[in-house]
Amino acid sequence: MSFDDTIFALASAPGRAGVQVVRLSGPGAGGALRALAGRLPPPRMATLAALRDPAMGEVFDKALILWFPAPASFTGEDVAELHLHGGRAVLQAATAALGALGLRVAEPGEFSRRAFEHGKLDLTEAEAIADLVDAETAAQRRQALRQMEGALGRLYEGWRGRLTRALAHIEADIDFPDEDLPDGVAAAMRPELAALAAEIAGHLEDSGRGERLRDGIAIAILGAPNAGKSSLLNAIARRDVAIVSSQAGTTRDVIEVQLDLDGYPVTLADTAGLRETLDAVESEGIRRALDRAANADLKLLVFDAARWPDLDAPTLALLDADAIPVLNKVDATPVASPVLNGRPVVAVSAATGAGLPELLRAVSAAVTERYAPGAAPALTRARHRAALEDCHHALTRALSAPLPELAAEDVRLAARALGRIIGRVDVEDLLDVIFRDFCIGK
């Protein structure tokens, strides 16, 4: 990808609409705008203009145009926007005119890439734009917006700054032993490194809060054949997603439904009924069900009220802190306030809908308790997690390193791991800190 050419792309969704926005970025953006509109409008002022294809001489739309001269633009380059009427032929005409002027269609993500290259965004902010565009629920939107405003980038940049400072002190001790430095500068950095390691460990141990919010919270419905799992899925989803029948062993494959639960993105999975079976297809279904149970963030364990208080053993074996026990079919067999191991069991009827609001409230409470945004910004991506784990390992090694040279190397690796997250890995700022703090070399 070259960064000195001028690109353009449709910034809004394709198709018929009131308005569609075409964005231009690069050194030729101003020239292209002048060629189409006959003039450059004042910067950042929406201006109505007749747009003409310079080659054909024909006016192809009357549109609002906007001009953002560098560097005060999204990409940091000269940027122009054409707010065209939303239609295929108008877009075709604009594309042809811009192409004839020598502009090229942007690659996916190229505008954000350029914004990053010009220091307008760090990588976490660029990723947050993608997350905000993809956000389907309110909680996802809030998390993405917070990250886009730089909360996560600032947290990591703050840690990296502290590491860089500690490294500067350790390196100064190594490199300039004859200089007039305070004694034990390197040793004095130990508490700081230990504190950083603890903060990063705490951030890593947030039970995947931010990642779940971004990717969806997995909830599995589990229980014996005929307990009414598929009926429950259909009742919660309010549509006929899974086949229901009085035959035990109806569901084989895992059936998923995406839900917005009080702003949280949830994937609800119906599974095969748990039992011993000789049927190869059914036992594969049961294997998949148990796999889902192991990987779910929350489990709904569905029991049949007809058998209460005798409960299905394979289902009962899955009861843990992340399970919500559910007693189904209470329309046929009413049970008053069922309790299991001292925990309340939610009594429902998938058939009549009785108890469903209570069940959804219980699920919502469990989700909120685990995944509600905290005061500190949450880790949102596997990429960040991997880099933070590298950082934490390196810090742990640095704390037990026998020689300052080895400690320095590990602290350098730790800082680099954080730099990878935000996309700023450079050594210049290390030198800056050495000379600012110690004035060595004068």
Ligand X SMILES: Nc1nc2c(ncn2[C@@H]2O[C@H](COP(=O)(O)OP(=O)(O)OP(=O)(O)O)[C@@H](O)[C@H]2O)c(=O)[nH]1
Write out the residues near ligand X by the rule CB under 6 A: 223, 225-231, 244-246, 248-251, 272-273, 328-329, 331-332, 349-351
CB under 5 to 8 A by kind: which of ligand X, Mg ion, none does 331 bind? ligand X
- The answer to whether 410 touches 186, Cβ cutoff 8 Å, is no
Q: Does 230 bind Mg ion (CB under 5 A)?
A: yes
Of the candidate spans 119-127, 213-221, 224-232, 368-376, the one that interacts with Mg ion by CB under 5 A turns out to be: 224-232
What residue 246 binds from Mg ion, ligand X, none (CB within 5 to 8 A, per partner kind)?
A: ligand X
**Residue 124 partner contact from Mg ion, ligand X, none using kind-dependent CB cut-offs of 5 to 8 Å:** none
Backbone phi, then psi, for 83, in 5-degree steps?
-95, 85
Burial of residue 247, with CB atoms counted within 10 A of its CB: 0-12 exposed, 13-18 middle, 19 or more buried: exposed
Closest distance to Mg ion from the beta carbon of 340 (Å): 22
Q: Which stretch binds Mg ion (CB under 5 A): 12-20, 80-88, 247-255, 279-287?
A: 247-255
The entry of ligand X, Mg ion, none that residue 135 binds, CB within 5 to 8 Å by partner kind: none
The entry of ligand X, Mg ion, none that residue 147 binds, CB within 5 to 8 Å by partner kind: none
Nearer to ligand X, 272 or 318 (CB): 272
Q: How far apart are CA 181 and CA 434, in angstroms?
A: 12
Nearest approach in angstroms of CB 338 to ligand X is: 14
- Whole-angstrom Cα distance, residue 255 to residue 195? 46
* β-bridge partners, 81: 23, 66
Closer residue to Mg ion (CB): 250 or 333: 250
Stretch that binds Mg ion, among 31-39, 56-64, 249-257, 334-342 (CB under 5 A): 249-257
CA distance 433 to 49: 52
- In terms of CB distance, is 147 or 231 closer to ligand X? 231
Tell the smallest beta-carbon distance from residue 355 to ligand X (Å): 9
Q: Which one, 20 or 230, has the nearer CB to Mg ion?
A: 230
251 forms part of the interface with Mg ion (CB under 5 A):
yes
In angstroms, give the least distance from the CB of 255 to ligand X: 9
Q: Considering only residues 377 through 396, tell me which ones interact with Mg ion, judged by CB under 5 A.
A: none
| Separation of alpha carbons 189 and 420, rounded Å | 23
Question: Stretches 155-163, 221-229, 402-410, 430-438: which one binds Mg ion (CB under 5 A)?
Answer: 221-229
Q: Which stretch binds Mg ion (CB under 5 A): 139-147, 168-176, 201-209, 243-251?
A: 243-251
Residues between 412 and 441 with contacts to Mg ion, criterion CB under 5 A? none
Considering the complex, what minimum distance in angstroms separates the CB of residue 363 from ligand X? Answer: 17
Residue closest to ligand X when measured from CB atoms: 273
Query: Encoding tokens for residue 62?
Result: 């009357």
Instruction: Find the shortest distance in angstroms from Cβ 262 to ligand X.
Output: 24
Region of 78-86, 110-118, 228-236, 394-402 interacting with Mg ion (CB under 5 A) = 228-236
Site residues for Mg ion per CB under 5 A:
229-230, 250-251
